[in-house]
Amino acid sequence: MPLEVQFKLKENPLYIKYLREHNIWYKRLIRHPEDFKIFVEEMKTNYKLRTSDKINKVVDTINIISNLFSNMV
């Protein structure tokens, strides 16, 4: 695996965690280091770290709080 990819992986503990859980990525990153961006996107999708996921979580939280207040009154 190229050093550049190794350094990127070590920067973020979530990358390492995802790589260990989905070890097919070892082979893929060794053979195609340019797929690192795909790896990151897949990791973000799996761990729900995308911006849209965060927005949905906030909206859900607001809805729950709103429902709680409406039931209290």
* CA–CA dist 49, 57 (Å, integer): 10
- The SS3 call for residue 12 is coil
| Number of domains comprising the chain | 1
- Alpha-carbon torsion, ordered 38, 28, 22, 48, to 10 deg: 0
Could you read off the pLDDT of 14-53 as tens digits, one per residue? 999 999 999 999 999 999 999 999 999 999 999 999 999 8
Tokens 């989905």 -> residue: 22
Q: Alpha-carbon distance 10 to 27, whole Å? A: 17
Domain that holds residue 55: 3-72
pLDDT of residue 72: 84
Tokens of 66: 């709103």
pLDDT of 17 reads: 96
pTM above 0.85, yes or no: no
